[in-house]
Amino acid sequence: MMISDDKYRRHFRVAILNFIVDRPRRQRQLTAVAVDAMLCYAAVVIAFSLRLGVWDLVSTPILIFSAIALALWYPIAWRAGVYRSLVRYSGARTVADLVIACGLLTLPLVAILVTFRIHDVPRTLAVLHPIIFLLLLASSRIFVRFALLDLLKVVDVDARRVLVYGAGRAGQQLALSLRHEPKVHLVGFIDDDLRLDGQRLDGTPVFGSTRLERLLDDTHVDEVLLAIPSASRTRRREIIETLQNEGIYVRSLPNLTNVIDGSITVSDLREIQIEELLGRETVAANELLMGKTIVGKTVLISGAGGSIGSELCRQIVRCGPARLILLEQSEYGLYAIEQELGELMQELGVDVPLIPELANVSERSSMTRIYRHYRPDTVFHAAAYKHVPLVEANPLSGLRNNIMGTLHSVEAAEAAGVSNFILISTDKAVRPTNIMGASKRVCELILQARAEQPGSKTIFSMVRFGNVLGSSGSVVPRFKAQIAAGGPVTVTDREITRYFMTIPEAAQLVIQASAMAKGGEVFVLDMGQPVKIIELARTMIRLSGLSIRDSDNPDGDIEIVETGLRPGEKLYEELLIGDNPQSTNHPRIMRAREILWPWADLEQALAQLDGAIRQFGDADAAVRIIARLVPEFAPEKTGKISA
């Protein structure tokens, strides 16, 4: 019975405190005005007592001075912003406003008492009263803040218990914002600087990071908030993995911008992104390489609305091209990237003419018209069908778009005198087991063969890399959707691995690779270590604050289900056909020269392929031609091929 009564009293106190804190702002302002009037009168009484040595609560001099002080105080206080920052948002800024207002109050009081000799009112009160008044005002704010905010969290049995990782400027700003959240209780700070262990920041204890695991057990923390925006990616990954193993939900501040502005709030927190665990330390971009094929030039991007194409657009706009041609076959994709780039340029304060072209790269006449009209200097060819199962089920469409689209773009580029043509390729082009990968290898062969032709003024090169995190249709957004739906999360095979890279890093490296091209190179991006897809799924489930349901934990939240390899899918991806990569002057870009077809032979095979696709609609014949062009094409699964 005693426990029940205690719990009832605690909930009653929470209800009372919440009622007070949640009053409309105007009511709280009027309450503060009334309280300050009483404090001003109390300061007058105390000042008279200290100056005259007589304690008198009411007298004519006290009433006269109080009337003068109040008449001066409210205009000054309102002007100084004293009543803009009330209980919920009070802090150091509030005290500073009070100091300024009381200092300003002193000036007219001195002027009045010196000019008009008021009977029985000592002139020293002009200084003594504002000092006492300031002490009373500051004390009242501190007391009310503690009573209505800090005490509220102590008694609120439903408040989430959180730790802030990082006791620096960002952590302190975040902690100040947390004090305004009635359903959050700040347990303390964690910091890698062990010299802070045992210290207190604004009354909140600071713990060294070496005590993290024990602290999580002792304090029953619900959530850890990362406020270390300047920490290296490696260090952030270590911290997140440690917290994951403890089953703690983690959120993070994204960057340093708001820290510099001093405007961090709880709304700035976001869930940990998988990119933070799979990504690597970024290598600063070589500005000379970034600008060599971009600055002051007409740049065309095919597939501008896709994952890689759109990021190339964002990066290129920042480099200052003369104009940017957005080539895309999806109406919505073209509209979306044009609108986004317009907003980005407005934010950056730059003005790059954007030319949207709604066209299909597989139409030779469209490519001829566009290239002949705009005569671009640099082309990034990112237009392709890339989803393995869909291309496997629709081989003619995939081959037409990927191979014939590349061929028509290459021919139009040469005729228009394009200086640099860069193909966006894929690791699936290496010893492909699916039609999509084989088609991209043929695209590479086209560029390699044209690069060997004498008299061509166009430098052809290609950049090959693996999966990019978050691209449309990739595994990461699919896992996110499955987790949001409550599972299960599906993986095709427990042993399947893939290389991953963030979209911004991939696009930046593509641009830099284009500047190093001499003609015919296959640039291979350093993708880091391959990642097991099942481990990726487990990580994403834990990042969502959920548990994995399996035989060891039958009561978990999300189950992982193995569905079997899809047609044409490989367990492992590779980046090189041969074993002779050469280094470049960029640490994450390698150069490979691989076996190629002479243009005369390749041209004849492409003509046959075009006939099989366009004239006869013969998917089997088209795939046989691809298998002849790409001898390493070894489908792991065979079956009926449909057009």
Cβ partners under 8 Å of residue 368, min gap 6: 408, 411, 412, 415
Quote the pLDDT of residue 148.
Answer: 58
Quick check: 405 and 411 in contact, CB under 8 A? Answer: no
Instruction: Give alpha helix (H) positions in 146-187.
Output: 151-155, 169-178
Which residue matches tokens 């952030």?
Answer: 236
- Please classify residue 94 by burial: count the beta carbons closer than 10 Å to its beta carbon, then call 0-12 exposed, 13-18 middle and 19+ buried: buried
- Co-location of 308 and 450 in the same domain: yes
Q: Which of 352, 425, 413 is nearest to 378 (CA)?
A: 413
| Boundary (domain end) residue, out of 238, 272, 306 | 272
Phi, psi of 290 (to 5 degrees): -60, -35
- Co-location of 455 and 533 in the same domain: yes
Residue ranges in the chain modelled with pLDDT below 70: 1-26, 28, 84-93, 145-159, 180-182, 254-273, 275-286, 470-473, 568, 574-580, 635-643
Number of other CB atoms surrounding residue 344 within 10 Å: 15
| Boundary (domain end) residue, out of 272, 299, 332 | 272
In a domain, 640, yes or no: no
Q: What is the CATH number of the domain that holds 192?
A: 3.40.50.720
Q: Which of 173, 165, 172 is nearest to 226 (CA)?
A: 165
> What is the length of the chain?
643
Quote the pLDDT of residue 594.
Answer: 75
**pTM to 2 decimals?**
0.66
Quick check: 621 and 396 in contact, CB under 8 A? Answer: no
- Co-location of 79 and 226 in the same domain: no
Under DSSP, is residue 241 helix (H, G, I), strand (E, B) or coil? Answer: helix
Rounded to whole angstroms, how far apart are CA atoms 634 and 532?
Answer: 23
Quote the pLDDT of residue 257.
Answer: 47
Q: Which two tokens stand for residue 257?
A: 């911008």
Quick check: 373 and 586 in contact, CB under 8 A? Answer: no
Bridge partners, 489 (sequence order) = 560
- Please classify residue 187 by burial: count the beta carbons closer than 10 Å to its beta carbon, then call 0-12 exposed, 13-18 middle and 19+ buried: buried
In a domain, 372, yes or no: yes
In a domain, 639, yes or no: no
Count the domains in the chain.
3
- Co-location of 490 and 558 in the same domain: yes
In a domain, 637, yes or no: no
Rounded to whole angstroms, how far apart are CA atoms 424 and 414?
Answer: 18
Rounded to whole angstroms, how far apart are CA atoms 14 and 19?
Answer: 8
Domain encompassing residue 383: 287-629
- Co-location of 426 and 306 in the same domain: yes
Which residue matches tokens 């909930």?
Answer: 11
Quick check: 545 and 328 in contact, CB under 8 A? Answer: no
Rounded to whole angstroms, how far apart are CA atoms 299 and 458?
Answer: 14
- Co-location of 19 and 82 in the same domain: yes
Quote the pLDDT of residue 333.
Answer: 94
In a domain, 610, yes or no: yes
- Co-location of 169 and 143 in the same domain: no
Quote the pLDDT of residue 276.
Answer: 64
In a domain, 597, yes or no: yes
In a domain, 638, yes or no: no
Quote the pLDDT of residue 89.
Answer: 44
Rg, C-alpha atoms of the chain: 34
Under DSSP, is residue 229 helix (H, G, I), strand (E, B) or coil? Answer: coil
- Co-location of 142 and 183 in the same domain: no
| Element spanning 478, H or E | helix 475-484
Torsion angle defined by CA atoms of residues 415, 416, 417 and 420, in that order, rounded to the nearest 10 degrees? -100
What is the secondary structure of 347-395 as a DSSP string? Answer: HHT----EEEEE--TT-HHHHHHHHHHH--SEEEE------HHHHHH-H
| Element spanning 79, H or E | helix 60-80
Q: How far from each other are the two terminal CA atoms of the chain, in whole angstroms?
A: 76
Quick check: 536 and 496 in contact, CB under 8 A? Answer: no
- Co-location of 144 and 202 in the same domain: no
Q: Which two tokens stand for residue 351?
A: 């003005």
Quote the pLDDT of residue 496.
Answer: 85
